[in-house]
Amino acid sequence: MIEPSNRSTALRLIPRNIATAFICLGLMLPAFGQQPFQTLLVGVDHRTVTSLNGDWHYLVDQSPAHALYTRNGAINDKSYAMNDHPNIVGKHNEEYDFSNAPTLKVPGDWNTQVPQLFNYEGVLWYQRDFDAQPKAGTRTFLHIGAANYRSHVWVNQKRVCDHEGGYSPFDCEVTAVLHAGSNFVVIAVDAARLIDGIPSVGIDWFNYSGITRDVSLVTVPEAFIDDYDIHLAHGLRFEPGNTELTGYVHVLDAPAGTSVTVDIPEAGAKATVKTNAEGNAPFSVKATKLILWSPESPKLYKVSLASGDDKLTDDIGFRDIRVDGTRILLNGKAIFLQGANMHAEAPIRGGRANTDQDVATIFSYLKDLNANFVRLCHYPHDERMTRTADRDGIMVWSEIPNWQGISFDKPEVYAKDVVMLNEMIRRDRNKASVILWSVSNETPNNPTRTKFLINLANEARRLDSTRPITSALNSAHIEGSTATLNDPFADALDVIGINEYIGWYSGAPEDADTMQWTLPQKPILMSEFGAEAKYGNHGATDQRWTEEQQVYVLQHQLAMLNKIPQVRGTIPWILMDFRSPTRNIPKLQDGYNRKGLISEDGKKKQAFELFQKVYKEHSVGKAE
Ligand code: GCB
């Protein structure tokens, strides 16, 4: 186990490591796009912030996006970012004007807000004014929950940051460019898919674009708490009486010896520690009483952190998750994961899920299904999801968007991945509900990807040694009635996810009945299986696209899964139908992947009832 203090130091060394890797390989650091991991404030949703959600002006910068890119592909800092206004008489400026431009709601994908932008995957510029009253001795950050896919941000005409990655938060420090009174921010978001992006160009979900999550201004003292990790001490084995809480609080730009207090009154735990030369304050404290977090009792504690003038209070649960042989143990007890997959798709209204209402509806479906687990596909979802999972007692698989083919041979893609992994783990490491970090989904079994992903899995362990690492593999070789997983990447995983579609993409549903699986002696989660059905389409069990056939496929799957001794979780694909531009069968798909147990407008298919009953009766799978 890596000591917390070292873990956090390691995390902060990443930028230098990435830079060094680039230099050693004789590569230039990218001119734009993914920057080395930058300040990322943890617990922003538990701070008092100034929301910049609301109406933002927008202008479309169609390909080749002359306003954003110069002829040689560099970022143009002198065009729309200037936000000056047309000068019809006198010197002529570029022909744009935000002040009279239409508006988009932030957060929100642009696709579902403006019909003409439904299929747009290019550059769009956002602008809004805001008031600020900066105070001496404070710093201000612009926090962006997520913007898909590349973002370039200017405040008062100065570029403050660039970010690549559509599903994780980033912060841009704006202290030096803010002034008292009216300020403005301009953000160019480029949604173009990139071969060397993560994900790459081919995806089976809708590329909802734009500023899709909350935006806020966060004001903090000069030295402030940017990161913390507070968890139940994770020793070699689970000790039932363990009440030791450990971790670190990092105070950015604090001189060594700065005092930090961690106070959890309800658990009777309080520690005052000092920062080291890196601003990190590792701590360990015994709680006098502790109720461990579990789905049955999702207990969260108010955890107050304070250092100098900075303080915040988070809601954190404490639990132990680990693998023992083929078992997954939560607080020492073997568990079976009754799950479902879910994309970040808003039920009923459609679009990217990013509101309290979207999240409440998704969790009401999970509860109704009697699920205790959700795989959040295929990228980190809005933080409301993991917050709600914490409160509702639903365990979570969280994943970075390494989906199928990405450029595994490119060091710069690895560098992007490390940043995305950092961003995911850093935002959610204090969420008790998150029990698994997944580094990929359905990647090709070849030495280049194996080396890449083994390194990434080890990187995840270096960042967080308290959670098992997983990945969804589709590399099982199925022939006749045998299915064998022979993928060297599986050796590097703690929990193995297997995606297979017997009865839909391959073979007949009944093939599952006699399938003999040869699998590693590790916990196995059937991370995807299913069939498509259009809600309300009825017919015989051998008639594709009917609800009856979907149920039939799933029933045979369940019979098969019940016979595999090390299966520790069932995660049907997928809780709800979701938009995917590759699903083009009119009348049946109409642009939706229809493997949902529920339709996109909230209607429960027969397959939902099947799982609802199976999960209620616990009639599939064994915890040990
Ligand atoms: C898969 C992928 C998932 C797809 C699904 C499907 O194996 O992991 O992203 O959407 O199959 O429906 O084909």
pLDDT of residue 35: 54
To test ligand 1's pocket by mutation, which of 200, 203, 204, 588 has the most ligand atoms within 8 angstroms of CB?
A: 204
Report the candidate in 43, 55, 108, 46 with the shortest Cα–Cα distance to residue 344: 108
Cα 228 to ligand 1 centroid, rounded to whole Å = 35
- Residue whose Cα lies nearest atom 11 of ligand 1: it is 528
pLDDT of residue 39: 77
Assess whether pLDDT exceeds 80 at residue 22.
no
pLDDT in tens, 37-57: 677 999 999 999 999 999 999
CB 578 within 8 A of CB 345: yes
Rounded CA separation 64/176 (Å): 32
pLDDT of residue 27: 34
Rounded CA separation 206/531 (Å): 19
Residues 256-270, mean pLDDT to the nearest whole number: 98
Cα 322 to ligand 1 centroid, rounded to whole Å = 28
Rounded CA separation 437/396 (Å): 9
pLDDT of residue 86: 74
Kindly provide the b/e burial profile for residues 485-512, where b requires at least 16 CB atoms within 10 angstroms of the residue's own CB.
bebebbebbbbbbbbbbbbbeebebebb
pLDDT of residue 479: 94
Residues 317-327, mean pLDDT to the nearest whole number: 98
- Residue whose Cα lies nearest atom 10 of ligand 1: it is 204
To test ligand 1's pocket by mutation, which of 402, 474, 528 has the most ligand atoms within 8 angstroms of CB?
A: 528
Tokens of 499: 């995606």
87 or 237: which leads in pLDDT: 237
Assess whether pLDDT exceeds 70 at residue 544.
yes
pLDDT in tens, 461-494: 999 999 999 999 999 999 999 999 999 999 999 9
Classify residue 514 by burial, with Cβ atoms within 10 Å: 0-12, 13-18, 19+.
exposed
pLDDT of residue 30: 37
pLDDT of residue 90: 65
Classify residue 130 by burial, with Cβ atoms within 10 Å: 0-12, 13-18, 19+.
middle
Share of the chain above pLDDT 90, in %: 92
Assess whether pLDDT exceeds 90 at residue 33.
no
Nearest ligand 1 atom to alpha carbon 532? 12
pLDDT of residue 36: 58
Nearest ligand 1 atom to alpha carbon 205? 10
pLDDT in tens, 552-607: 999 999 999 999 999 999 999 999 999 999 999 999 999 999 999 999 999 999 99
Assess whether pLDDT exceeds 60 at residue 7.
no
CB 252 within 8 A of CB 279: yes
Assess whether pLDDT exceeds 90 at residue 91.
no
Q: Is 513 helix (H, G, I), strand (E, B) or coil?
A: helix
Residues 310-320, mean pLDDT to the nearest whole number: 98
- Torsion sign (Cα): 43, 46, 48, 50: positive
Cα 204 to ligand 1 centroid, rounded to whole Å = 7
pLDDT of residue 257: 98
Report the candidate in 400, 403, 373 with the shortest Cα–Cα distance to residue 580: 403
| Ligand 1 binding residues, C-beta < 6 A | 204, 378, 441-442, 474, 499, 528, 573, 593, 595
Share of the chain above pLDDT 70, in %: 93
pLDDT in tens, 485-537: 999 999 999 999 999 999 999 999 999 999 999 999 999 999 999 999 999 99
Cα 589 to ligand 1 centroid, rounded to whole Å = 15
CB 569 within 8 A of CB 375: no
Cα 593 to ligand 1 centroid, rounded to whole Å = 9
3-state DSSP of 445-500:
CCHHHHHHHHHHHHHHHHHCCCCCEEEEECCCEEECCEEECCCHHHHHCCEEEEEC
Q: What's the whole-model pTM score? A: 0.94
Q: Which amino acid is at 488?
A: P
pLDDT of residue 26: 31
Partners of 218 in beta bridges: 141
Cα 134 to ligand 1 centroid, rounded to whole Å = 48
pLDDT of residue 20: 35
To test ligand 1's pocket by mutation, which of 526, 593, 594, 597 has the most ligand atoms within 8 angstroms of CB?
A: 593
Q: Which residues, in sequence order, are CB contacts of 136 under 8 Å at separation 6+? A: none
Q: Which residues, in sequence order, are CB contacts of 573 under 8 Å at separation 6+? A: 341, 499, 501, 528, 529, 530, 595
Rounded CA separation 549/232 (Å): 46
Nearest ligand 1 atom to alpha carbon 528? 7
Cα 413 to ligand 1 centroid, rounded to whole Å = 23
- Residue whose Cα lies nearest atom 4 of ligand 1: it is 204
Partners of 124 in beta bridges: 60, 189
Residues 223-240, mean pLDDT to the nearest whole number: 97
To test ligand 1's pocket by mutation, which of 205, 341, 438, 573 has the most ligand atoms within 8 angstroms of CB?
A: 573
pLDDT of residue 178: 98
pLDDT of residue 38: 75
Rounded CA separation 472/485 (Å): 12
Residues 249-266, mean pLDDT to the nearest whole number: 98
